[in-house]
Structure 1
Amino acid sequence: MMKKQRVGAIVLAGMMMLSMTGCGNSKAKAYSKYVTLGDYKGIEYTKTVAAVTEDDIQSKLDSFVDGLAETNEVTDRAVEDGDIVNIDYVGTMDGEEFDGGSATGQDLTIGSNSFIDGFETGLIGHNVGDEVSLDLQFPDPYPNNTDLAGKDVNFKVTINKISVKTTPELTDQLVKDNTDYDTIDAYKESIKEDLKKTNETNAEKQAKSDIFDKVVSNCKISGYDEDVVKDLVDEEFKSFKNTADSYKSYGYSYEDVLSMNGYDSEDSLKKGITEYVKKYLDQKMVLYCIAAKEGIKVSSEETDKKVQEYMDTYNVKTKEEVYNYFGDDYFEVLVLSEKVMDYLKDNAKLVDSTEADSEDTEAADGKDTTEATTTEASSESEDTTEDTESTTEDTEATTAEDTEATTTEAE
């Protein structure tokens, strides 16, 4: 099923913004005519940290072992459940091919239920080189493509290759050969410590997000620069349309993409985009007004450092490439937002914290070994702009997907 797209992007520890850059600090002074700041010091908040569980640790161990699995070709038998088959297939309805119904060289794990009922099981027992004809029916409803729901279809499938995936057994030797640790227990302990740090970081981001939400709600927003609103809405609408177009090759119509995003018409889409834009502008204008009032500024050295971090992380060769994509002032505003968020948290009041023991990760004595406060971490981020996600995230090779989630963008 196609991944559900979402208009806008995640910033400021989980709050919405658009994937647009703009005119920079020259706009900041104009925001004050739209914003009356409310209380932004002494904001009460809770900080809760998710406990590390045995399931969390096991999931990491499973991923570790799965990453060391080997895939080997099988040439002496027919397809079995669990095999990976490489196939070509052509789908037809009433003798005519349909969009998204054909592919070549596609790997498919039998039993994964990636295809409609009968497709994968229909290949079991067949050999490399066989052409298999499958008369099937799309389920009804079929949210992936409502035009196909309940329709009869024929797939002609050619089996190119059969492979099996072999996963190694988790042993001390496997750990020693592939990590910096000598035993499973030592590796599990390192995983637990890493997860604790991650949970703490996520809780910190969520706390800042909660504080900023309250700060924005305390402010009075009297209006917007309508030209700015129009430009942002038009840009996001164009981005959405481009994304929808890119999914035509997978058999999804424009109406399908609208529906998957929760919209029943283009008018409702534009209304939704406009709401996101205004929420973004609320946050951005408040951010700038607080920074101006408290004298929070950003130096060129701080901006350069942030750009270099991005280049190092994503192996970008030149600053010019970065600025061409993000715009001239993106990273300046990124640093500014981090500083304002830190300032707000430093001047906020922690009023509640709930502690919970993490599950025991040492089988020897069965005792709890760590304590942490509990809660769910915030979504995003991701990442960073994994945490700036725009409607073009699936088609942009150099998106801002992994920029720090506590960012915002310049106008």
Structure 2
Amino acid sequence: MKKKICMFLVGAMCLAGLSACGDKKEDTAGEGGAAATTEAGKNDDSVIGKMKSDYAEYVTIYDKYMEVKYTPSKTEVTDNDIEKDKASLIAQGTTTEKQTTGIATYGDAVNIDYTGYVDGTAFDHGSTEGKGTEITLGSSGYIDNFDEQIVGHKPGDSFDVVVTFPDPYTNDETLSGKKATFDTTLNAIVVKKVPEYNDELVKSLTSYATTAEYEQAMREKHKEDNEKNDKTKDKQNILNTIITNSTISQYPEDEMKELIDSMIQQVKSLAEANNVDLTTLISYYYGLQTEDDFKDYISNYVENYIRQKMIIVAIAAAENIDVTEEEYEARKKELMDSYSITDDNTFNQYYAKEDVYYVVLADKVSDYVYEHAVIDNGSNSDNQQVQDMLTSAATTETVTEASSEETSTEAK
């Protein structure tokens, strides 16, 4: 049912502004909860209609899902944001010059060529093939002791760099612990020319005439971006509240198993395609140590995803929210444009039709509950009662004091 589901799940959640979230409550129908009606999905063979029929009857939605209280996020633009913009502009205007004189020292950027040999034989992916590569001495990330053997040389020098690969060496296990010799040439010392931040730089790289105009424009841009991000964060928090407080009486076990198996198999295929074992890959990408840990991770991920999906679909059923063919086509085009996909066959290899429909539905449900949410200003009925009592007491005290001539005089 799902194609390339690992890629899709991550992409779909990002596109919908969602994540597999919410602490799992006991899966019992909560008293007073809003039981989702499946009426909107009955006898409906549409994609969304089928989802409603499959999921909605097993969900009891949080009874206050139409009036979730939240505190709006407010991210301010800081001077540090503008300093980063200035630094980025300076970096954009920075140029490099290859010098063929001088001596290479730690901290220098250098351009080198090399070919690596183990036991006298060149090994795969161990050569720049004469194209040259740039590294910074002391922080290249190359094998230990590689950089220090370049220090002290001058451009035009050819020399051997002798190192020992670490054991294990995850990039190529056949090289683990092996001694290697790199036939190396120092082509040049790369010197950066950093421009001054001024009106001239701004005018040459942007549509603004002065630094003041540029910085003001950046502040406005950050403000707009912050407002969008804050709104997305608020939507997420509102959905988290609904998901956490909703209950599910039964999960679609077959669908969950299919998702879990599909995701695990895709990661295994990825490991095989990159000639690494699964344990190495999951350690590198997920920080997990064993296959059992990885299976538990995927299982938990899928359960949270399905939980979220069921609740979102249930809200759609209760509020008669649907997705039109035009909305589906528009989102499909966005995805194709984003990933430079030019034909339907390629698109269908990555996204099942129902998945794209669900992404659109999740967006619409997220917008809907956000529009009906209530801003929490920090007051409630109990707090108001306390405030009224304090106000009343203060009024009584004032009246009493006013009847005393001495107090009245002091007050004056």
Q: TM-score, normalised by structure 1?
A: 0.71
* Amino acid of the structure 2 residue aligned with 1:307: K
Aligned residue for 2:90, secondary structure, equals helix
Shift of 1:205: 0.9
- Of 105, 114, 117, the residue aligned with 2:141 is 114
- Of 168, 182, 185, the residue aligned with 1:156 is 182
For each residue in 1:58-89, what CA deviation from the matched residue of structure 2 results, as whole angstroms up to 9, or x when unmatched?
A: 11222222223333333344534322323334
| 1:87 counterpart residue number | 113
| 1:285 counterpart residue number | 310
Percentage of pairs with the same residue: 28
- Of 200, 204, 214, the residue aligned with 2:231 is 204
* Amino acid of the structure 2 residue aligned with 1:283: Q
| 1:254 counterpart residue number | 278
The one of the two structures with greater contact order (alpha-carbon pairs below 8 A, sep at least 6) is 1
Shift of 1:179: 0.8
- Of 11, 16, 20, the residue aligned with 2:20 is 16
For each residue in 1:77-114, what CA deviation from the matched residue of structure 2 results, as whole angstroms up to 9, or x when unmatched?
A: 4534322323334275x989889876655432324342
For each residue in 1:5-61, what CA deviation from the matched residue of structure 2 results, as whole angstroms up to 9, or x when unmatched?
A: 9996244434139xxxxx943233111243222221211222222222222211122
| 1:38 counterpart residue number | 62
Are 1:337 and 2:341 matched, yes or no? no
Matches within 5 A, 1:4-403: 9=10, 10-11=13-14, 12-16=16-20, 24-25=47-48, 26-39=50-63, 40-80=65-105, 81-90=107-116, 92=118, 104=129, 105=131, 106-126=133-153, 127-128=155-156, 130-135=158-163, 138=166, 153-159=179-185, 161-162=187-188, 163-248=190-275, 253-260=277-284, 261-313=286-338, 315-318=340-343, 321-352=346-377
Equivalent pair of 2:8/2:350 in contact (CA under 8 Å): no
By percentage of residues, which structure has more helix?
2
* Amino acid of the structure 2 residue aligned with 1:281: I
| 2:403 counterpart residue number | none
- 1:7 and 1:332 map into 2 onto residues whose CA distance is 13
- 1:285 and 1:91 map into 2 onto residues whose CA distance is 57
Shift of 1:228: 1.0
Q: 1:185 to 1:155 in 2, by over 3 A?
A: farther
Q: 1:58 to 1:343 in 2, by over 3 A?
A: same
- 1:34 and 1:303 map into 2 onto residues whose CA distance is 26
- 1:232 and 1:98 map into 2 onto residues whose CA distance is 40
Q: 1:238 to 1:136 in 2, by over 3 A?
A: same
For each residue in 1:172-193, what CA deviation from the matched residue of structure 2 results, as whole angstroms up to 9, or x when unmatched?
A: 1121122110011211111111
Q: 1:174 to 1:263 in 2, by over 3 A?
A: same
Equivalent pair of 1:90/1:103 in contact (CA under 8 Å): no
* Amino acid of the structure 2 residue aligned with 1:13: G
Equivalent pair of 1:34/1:222 in contact (CA under 8 Å): yes
What residue ranges of structure 1 are gaps of 5+ in the alignment? 18-22, 354-411
Equivalent pair of 1:8/1:16 in contact (CA under 8 Å): no
- 2:170 and 2:192 map into 1 onto residues whose CA distance is 29
| 1:363 counterpart residue number | none
Rg larger in 1 or in 2? Answer: 2
Shift of 1:262: 2.8
- 2:371 and 2:152 map into 1 onto residues whose CA distance is 65
Q: 1:193 to 1:326 in 2, by over 3 A?
A: same
- 1:153 and 1:351 map into 2 onto residues whose CA distance is 65
* Amino acid of the structure 2 residue aligned with 1:83: A
Q: 1:7 to 1:128 in 2, by over 3 A?
A: farther
Moved more, 281-290 or 261-270: 261-270
* Amino acid of the structure 2 residue aligned with 1:237: I
Q: TM-score, normalised by structure 2?
A: 0.70
How many equivalent residue pairs?
Answer: 338
Aligned residue for 2:353, secondary structure, equals coil
Q: 1:61 to 1:49 in 2, by over 3 A?
A: same
Q: 1:152 to 1:57 in 2, by over 3 A?
A: farther
* Amino acid of the structure 1 residue aligned with 2:219: K
